[in-house]
Amino acid sequence: MTPTLPKRPTKTPPTKAMTPRSRMRNAASPNHSAAADTPPADTLVQVGRVGKPHGLDGTVKVIPLSDDPDRFATFDTVYVGRNAERATAHAVRDVRFQPHKKGTTVLLSLETATDRNEAEALRRLDVFVPESVFALDGEERFVHDLVGYAVYSGEECVGTLTEVMALPGPDALVIETTEGYDALVPFVEAFVPRIDDDAQRIHLNPVEGLLDANAPGAPNTPPDDLR
């Protein structure tokens, strides 16, 4: 299993340039512009980052960080801010999806943004939802629950996981190595084949140079496997 969270169910990929609107609130819906209070920051999960405005009606492009962008169609409220501590609630008005070669862009319309200027004000902010909206099965996990796990390469403990860095592509594990420096490892099965929750261990493939890019005195060129 690819160690991402939540994992993507098997789906037929979209074939049109843009899928039909997956959810649009009708005029009879209650006013969602005054959404609920923001939950505690430590219960929020980042699922995307706001990009450019799309059109003139306040819609924004969102780069999804969830491995299943279709989940956005199930969100009634999202929390937007520079970080979880500063995120505020925004009711969702409409969600559409724009497939492209590198994945899917979410076209998100919020009750609080009705023109391009208001959409521009959201640019580069992060999008969060409460972790309670995800129904995880026995093989799924929240990546932040892995922080503190020991990291092994073969039989050797090489460090401790301190952060899972959310990126538009694969997430990256931030590992505080036993040598005292931080190493970044792409959170993909090729490099992270196994996670042992019982032992709280993350097992890496012993790829030569995988942890050395940030080592003191190392050249600034990453190993071939990471290029």
Please say if the pLDDT value at position 95 is more than 80.
yes
Last residue of a domain, one of 108, 132, 156: 132
Tell me, yes or no, whether 28 and 75 share the same domain. yes
Residue 224: its pLDDT value, please? 46
Query: Would 42 be classed as within a structural domain?
Result: yes
Q: Residue 39 maps to which CATH number? A: 2.40.30.60
Three-class SS of the chain: CCCCCCCCCCCCCCCCCCCCCCEECCCCCCCCCCCCCCCCHHHEEEEEEEEEECCCCCCEEEEECCCCHHHHHHCCEEEEECCHHHCEEEEEEEEEEEEECCEEEEEEEECCCCCHHHHHCCCCCEEEEEHHHCCCCCCCCCHHHHCCCEEEECCEEEEEEEEEECCCCCCEEEEEECCCCEEEEECCCCCCCEEECCCCEEEECCCCCCCCCCCCCCCCCCCHHHC
Please say if the pLDDT value at position 171 is more than 60.
yes
Tell me, yes or no, whether 28 and 77 share the same domain. yes
- Which residues span the domain enclosing 183? 143-220
Q: Residue 186 maps to which CATH number? A: 2.30.30.240
Tell me, yes or no, whether 55 and 122 share the same domain. yes
**Count of domains forming the chain:** 2
- pTM (whole model) above 0.75: no
Tell me, yes or no, whether 53 and 152 share the same domain. no
pLDDT, one tens digit per residue, over 29-67 is 333 333 457 789 888 988 899 999 999 999 999 998 877
